[in-house]
């Protein structure tokens, strides 16, 4: 189905003020954004407008009760100057899963894809070209009822804006294994990309940072025994030649980078093991010298190596990153697919017809 999207272009692009060689993650915003409003059971008033603040009623229900979800995906420029978005329909699938869990309406695929293509095409000059950079795309949906009282909202707003970015982590990551705080628990919202999941991690992460760590490697909230995810990334371990990652169990985000890595491993004939992984076996592998690699996988972070793991007052130092050949190769292979440097054998890349080749 083709939707009618009203486009109002900015008459004051600020692209010339942007230093594309120095892009702090998530702080530089492109010229336009897409907005849709959900009223009376339908998405309407589809529009692309200059990027700006959005007026907010003080009783906007998302602000009080947290009915708010988001996604993250990236667009890249290939060597022909064309723009390609990595696995956008997977993000929509997950957005709709998050929406269902949070009692919010689904977004039709045709609407999502048309909005995405129109917005990225309009702001095509914002897709960076330098190595390691991309256009980060942030779709999000929130409850807009102006009402004090706890109930699923009747009205919602869906927005997409974009940010040219470089890497999310500029260095290998130091993670602290959670033994006190909980991110997600069975039956909760852990696998949804709900704003509140991230809010709940902020104070513990502040504490971890004060102790020299970047992020928390979350564990199950009952025994603090099984690894879950890092919040910004899923986690992978390489122990004695085997690749392991926690099995999806409703508490862990079904990461699109995670899923892509599993496929790239399968393409190499490597079956990654998805199962419950205990903290004890991680620590034991480190003691025995068989913990060969640990890395996080996420859209913003791509593949980010873990250099240190803290647990109950001890810090495990992991092997040098240079020697971690498999994850280095996977990282390169993913980047090559995203930039059209090698064949896209799984049909992951969505190309947009551009008229400005940079
Ligand atoms: C992403 O990887 O896209 C996320 O949403 C995580 C956030 C840290 C930027």
Domain ranges of the chain: 6-166, 173-338
Residue 144 CB neighbours (<10 A) = 22
- Residue 60 Cα to ligand 1 midpoint, Å, equals 24
Is the CB of residue 232 below 6 angstroms from any atom belonging to ligand 1?
Answer: yes
Strand boundaries in the chain, DSSP class E: 6-7, 32-39, 42-50, 68-70, 73-77, 83-86, 134-143, 156-165, 173-177, 215-217, 234-239, 242-246, 273-275, 291-298, 302-311, 314-317, 349-352
Is the CB of residue 133 below 6 angstroms from any atom belonging to ligand 1?
Answer: no
Q: Walk along the chain (358 residues) and give the pLDDT tens digit of each residue.
A: 999 999 999 999 999 999 999 999 999 999 999 999 999 999 999 999 999 999 999 999 999 999 999 999 999 999 888 999 999 999 999 999 999 999 999 999 999 999 999 999 999 999 999 888 999 999 999 999 999 999 999 999 999 999 999 989 989 999 999 999 999 999 999 999 999 999 999 999 999 999 999 999 999 989 999 999 998 999 999 999 999 999 999 999 999 999 999 999 999 999 999 999 999 999 999 999 999 999 999 999 999 999 999 999 999 999 999 999 999 999 999 999 999 999 999 999 999 976 554 4
pLDDT at 178: 98
User: Phi and psi dihedrals of 99, rounded to 5?
Assistant: -60, -45
pLDDT at 286: 98
The class level of CATH for 6-166 reads alpha beta
pLDDT at 180: 95
Question: pTM of this prediction?
Answer: 0.96
β-strand partners of 177: 217
Is the CB of residue 234 below 6 angstroms from any atom belonging to ligand 1?
Answer: no
- Count Cβ atoms within 10 A of the Cβ of residue 321 and give its class: 0-12 exposed, 13-18 middle, 19 or more buried: middle
- Residue 317 Cα to ligand 1 midpoint, Å, equals 26
Nearest CA to ligand 1 atom 6: 232
User: Phi and psi dihedrals of 193, rounded to 5?
Assistant: -95, 70
Do domains 6-166 and 173-338 share one topology? The answer is no
Substitution site in 301, 304, 338 for ligand 1 pocket (most atoms within 8 Å of beta carbon): 301
What number does the ligand 1 atom closest to the CA of 255 have? 2
* Residue located via tokens 């490597």: 270
Substitution site in 27, 232, 257 for ligand 1 pocket (most atoms within 8 Å of beta carbon): 232
Is the CB of residue 296 below 6 angstroms from any atom belonging to ligand 1?
Answer: no
> In the CATH scheme, what is the code of domain 173-338?
3.20.10.10
């Amino acid at each position: 189905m083709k939707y009618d999207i009203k486009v109002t272009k900015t008459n004051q692009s600020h692209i010339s003020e942007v230093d594309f060689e120095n892009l702090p993650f998530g702080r530089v915003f492109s010229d336009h954004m897409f907005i849709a409003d959900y009223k009376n059971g339908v998405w309407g008033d589809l529009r692309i407008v200059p990027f700006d603040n959005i007026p907010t009623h003080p009783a906007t229900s998302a602000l009080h009760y947290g009915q708010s979800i988001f996604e993250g995906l990236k667009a890249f420029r290939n060597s022909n100057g064309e723009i390609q978005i990595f696995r956008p329909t997977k993000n929509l699938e997950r957005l709709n899963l998050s929406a269902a869990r949070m009692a919010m309406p689904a977004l039709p695929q045709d609407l999502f894809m048309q909005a995405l293509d129109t917005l990225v095409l309009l702001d095509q000059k914002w897709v960076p070209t330098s190595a390691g950079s991309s256009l980060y795309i942030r779709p999000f949906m929130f409850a807009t009822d102006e009402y004090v009282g706890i109930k699923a909202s009747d009205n919602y707003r869906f927005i997409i804006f974009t940010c040219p970015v470089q890497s999310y982590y500029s260095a290998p990551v130091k993670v602290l294994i959670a033994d006190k705080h909980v991110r997600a628990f069975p039956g909760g919202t852990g696998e949804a990309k709900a704003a509140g999941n991230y809010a709940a991690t902020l104070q513990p992460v502040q504490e971890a940072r004060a102790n020299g760590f970047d992020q928390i490697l979350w564990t199950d909230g009952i025994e603090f025994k099984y690894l879950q995810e890092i919040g910004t990334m899923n986690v992978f371990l390489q122990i004695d030649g085997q690749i392991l990652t926690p099995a999806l169990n409703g508490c862990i985000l079904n990461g699109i980078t995670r899923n892509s890595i599993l496929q790239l491993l399968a393409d190499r004939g490597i079956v990654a093991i998805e199962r419950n992984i205990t903290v004890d076996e991680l620590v034991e592998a480190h003691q025995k010298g068989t913990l060969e690699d640990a890395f996080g996988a996420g859209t913003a972070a791509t593949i980010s190596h873990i250099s240190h793991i803290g647990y109950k007052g001890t810090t495990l130092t992991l092997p040098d990153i240079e020697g971690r050949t498999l994850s280095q190769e996977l990282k390169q292979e993913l980047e090559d697919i995203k930039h059209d440097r090698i064949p896209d054998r799984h049909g992951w890349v969505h190309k947009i017809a551009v008229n400005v080749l940079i």
